Amino acid sequence: THAGGIQGSTIFPMPVALGQSWNTSLMEAVGSQIGVQARASGCSQAMSPLLQVATDPRWGRLAENVGEDWHLVSEFGLASMRGIMGAENVGPQHNASTYLSDPELHPWCQAKHYAGYGSFPRDSFTSSAQTGEASLMEIYLRPWLAFASNGGRGVMASHNMLQSEPMHA
């Protein structure tokens, strides 16, 4: 949600700065512009929203997330989705098999990074968060539940491990 990654597109403040506002309307407006600019350049997929909950300040990619509160991350993720995919395409009545109302106008969202990313001090393939199952369910996966329950389309893998188990293969 920082920019569409397209030459000439608008570069918005980093997500950690946007998260400090607690302003979901602002995040939806940013998402809308990213979505419009992405579609105008031919992109059909947005690498957004950012759903990592950063709870360790030593983590190397802190600027990529909106905060350490799972509720804030969830609400900002949904606001970003509404902006990028169009509010009419986001909500509990939508799922990955429903079509976007106007795919020529709106890209679909692939959230990142699944799961537990930001809960450990280093960003590497060998890092392993020792987060317990309760913390995983009550903190780190809550934004993902909101994303999946409201029409989220894809998941970007993270390169961390949780309790020494790789998050993808």
Instruction: Check the CA dihedral 143-145-146-147 and report its sign.
Output: positive
Report pLDDT for 79.
Answer: 97
Q: How far apart are CA 134 and CA 155, in angstroms?
A: 22
Q: How far is CA 82 from CA 27, 98, 104, 122, in A?
A: 9, 15, 16, 32
pLDDT at 165: 77
DSSP letters for the chain: --B---TT--BPPPHHHHHTTT-HHHHHHHHHHHHHHHHHTT--EE---B------TT-TTGGGSS-S-HHHHHHHHHHHHHHHH-GGG-STT--TTSPPS-TTT-PEEEEEEETTTTSSS--STT-EE---HHHIIIIISHHHHHHHHTT--EEEE-S-EETTEES--
pLDDT for position 82: 96
Contact 109, 95 (CB under 8 A): no
**Residue-level pLDDT at 94:** 81
Extract the residue ranges of the chain whose pLDDT is less than 50. Answer: 1
- Cα 150 to Cα 98: distance, rounded to the nearest angstrom: 11
pLDDT computed for residue 34 by the predictor: 92
- pLDDT score, position 55: 84
- One-letter amino acid of 27: M
Strands 128-129, 154-157: pairing is unpaired
Beta pairing, strands 165-166 & 154-157? unpaired
pTM of the model: 0.88
